């Protein structure tokens, strides 16, 4: 949610931003907010004037009563009652106006960074940089679930009977690999100075409204029937929510946190759910990064966050690239975002394994996360998030890039301590 002052003082900036995001249907919202805001401020001005008038009348009544002029006092009391009734009427009107303003402000997209390329959708995202040399082996790389099945590591049929498409059973060394990657990611981020957290896996609607747009919520979140609770789609949701209605001393910033959680997503929309694979699924686990910082520091942290993910994947011998998300591919709360994509030797192309975003003060404004500056002035914090790793999707890249000609999987040195010292999974395993 942007600052309403921007709409009051520079509505053309807001309109141009909406156009850059190819959301022209939202343009009327700007004029609607301006009109409602004028009415709201007029109501506030009238309420303040009436309260001052009522205070003055109260003083007059007190003076008349002291002078034993009760009849005159009673006459003025009637006038005071009329003023009180008008104040109640105006307050009800103002509350309705504020609700209508908020509804529209929650839909108007955040102002994107000037560096964001303008484009309609993810097909117009821009490659930034590649890390590691993508290779295609001289043998056929099977589909990822075929690799897992050859190692007796996955059971999709049973999961389908138990829960439907989009779920899985991982077994044996593949299940161990899944846990090993998450444990390694945890320690990798702790070594980089981040504080490890395990958050609540459910959040209230107030937090949901604060961390994402309504469209995202409808497409992603599972609601608990009969409860004001939603299953999280990522630990970012509950980690940012941790600071709701808080005033943070400026000297405590930045907060650099890395959190583990299971994640639950409907995955509604064009992508759908695969029957055979584990690329797009309803349930997965993830290690996340979250930063709460001062406004002037957010771009420095943005670059540090995506670099952490690149470095993590390179320690596992997986080539990656970074991709700048264009304006039309940015969620409404985001200021700037880039995807980290891993190389797929089977498909001979890159695919998304993580996303890094800075949201400016949009989440903080919705959740009332403020910072107490050293000069006593309060301002909204800036929030960022980034994926460290999200298996089992990440396992697709891991298995394909570390697959050997005999069907075994090489375990990179960094991961071997988390796999009980194993250097291979499969035929060469010792």
Please tell me the distance from the alpha carbon of residue 327 to that of residue 334, in angstroms, as a whole number: 10
Give the pLDDT confidence of 301-348 residue by residue, as tens digits.
999 999 999 999 999 999 999 999 999 999 999 999 999 999 999 999
Cβ atoms within 10 Å of 311's Cβ, excluding its own? 13
Give the pLDDT confidence of 56-76 residue by residue, as tens digits.
888 887 887 778 777 777 777
Tokens of 193: 């100075």
The per-residue pLDDT for 271 is 56
The per-residue pLDDT for 429 is 46
Domains of the chain in sequence order: 4-105 (1.10.287.40), 122-425 (3.30.930.10)
Output b/e per residue, 397-414; b: 16+ Cβ within 10 A. Answer: bbbbbbbeeeebbbbbee
Q: Give the residue from 198, 159, 155, 161 showing the smallest Cα distance to 175.
A: 155
The per-residue pLDDT for 128 is 96
The per-residue pLDDT for 268 is 63
H or E element at residue 150 = helix 144-150
- What are the distances in angstroms from CA 93 to CA 46, 53, 88? 12, 20, 9
The per-residue pLDDT for 49 is 93
The per-residue pLDDT for 136 is 94
The per-residue pLDDT for 430 is 41
The per-residue pLDDT for 272 is 55
**Average pLDDT, rounded, for the chain:** 92
The per-residue pLDDT for 67 is 80
Tell me the percentage of the chain whose pLDDT exceeds 70. Answer: 97
Residue 126 · residue 117 · CB < 8 Å: yes
Please tell me the distance from the alpha carbon of residue 250 to that of residue 110, in angstroms, as a whole number: 24
Q: Mark the ranges of the chain whose per-residue pLDDT is less than 50.
A: 270, 428-430
pTM of this structure: 0.90
The single residue listed with the structure tokens 């006593």 is: 376
For 123, list phi and psi in degrees, rounded to 5.
Answer: -70, -15
Give the pLDDT confidence of 210-246 residue by residue, as tens digits.
998 777 777 789 999 999 999 999 999 999 999 999 9
């Amino acid at each position: 949610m942007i600052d309403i002052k921007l709409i009051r003082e520079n509505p053309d900036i807001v309109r141009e931003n909406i156009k850059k995001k190819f959301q022209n249907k939202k343009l009327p919202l700007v004029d609607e907010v301006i009109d409602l805001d004028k009415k709201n401020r007029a109501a506030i001005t009238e309420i303040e004037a009436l309260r001052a008038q009522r205070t003055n009348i109260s003083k007059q009544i007190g003076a008349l009563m002291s002078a034993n002029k009760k009849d005159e006092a009673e006459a003025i009391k009637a006038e005071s009652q009329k003023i009180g009734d008008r104040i109640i009427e105006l307050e009800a009107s103002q509350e309705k106006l504020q609700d209508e303003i908020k509804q529209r402000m929650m839909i108007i997209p955040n102002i994107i960074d000037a560096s964001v390329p303008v484009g309609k959708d993810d097909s117009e995202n821009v490659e930034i940089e590649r890390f590691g040399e993508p290779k295609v082996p001289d043998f056929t790389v099977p589909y990822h679930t075929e690799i897992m099945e050859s190692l007796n590591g996955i059971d999709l049929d049973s999961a389908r009977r138990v829960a439907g498409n989009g779920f899985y059973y991982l077994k044996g060394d593949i299940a161990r690999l899944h846990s090993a990657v998450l444990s390694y990611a945890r320690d990798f981020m702790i070594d980089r100075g981040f504080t490890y957290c395990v958050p609540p896996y459910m959040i209230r609607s107030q937090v949901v409204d604060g961390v994402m747009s309504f469209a995202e919520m409808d497409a992603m979140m599972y609601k608990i029937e009969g409860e004001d609770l939603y299953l999280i789609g990522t630990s970012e949701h509950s980690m940012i929510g941790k600071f709701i209605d808080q005033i943070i001393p400026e000297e405590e910033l930045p907060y650099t946190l890395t959190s583990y959680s299971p994640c639950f997503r409907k995955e509604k929309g064009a992508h759908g759910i695969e029957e055979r694979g584990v690329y797009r699924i309803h349930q997965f686990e993830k290690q996340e990064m979250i930063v709460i910082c001062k406004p002037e520091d957010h771009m420095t942290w943005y670059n540090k966050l995506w670099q952490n993910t690149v470095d993590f994947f390179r320690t596992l011998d997986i080539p990656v690239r970074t991709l700048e998300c264009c304006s039309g591919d940015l969620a409404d709360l985001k200021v700037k975002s880039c995807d980290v994509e891993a190389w797929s030797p089977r498909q001979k192309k890159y695919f998304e394994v993580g996303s890094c975003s800075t949201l400016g003060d949009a989440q903080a404004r919705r959740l009332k996360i403020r910072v107490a500056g050293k000069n006593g002035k309060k301002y909204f914090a800036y929030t960022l998030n980034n994926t460290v790793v999200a298996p089992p999707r990440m396992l697709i890249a891991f298995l394909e890039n570390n697959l050997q000609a005999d069907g075994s999987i090489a375990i990179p040195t960094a991961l071997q301590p988390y796999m009980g010292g194993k250097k291979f999974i499969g035929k060469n395993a010792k």
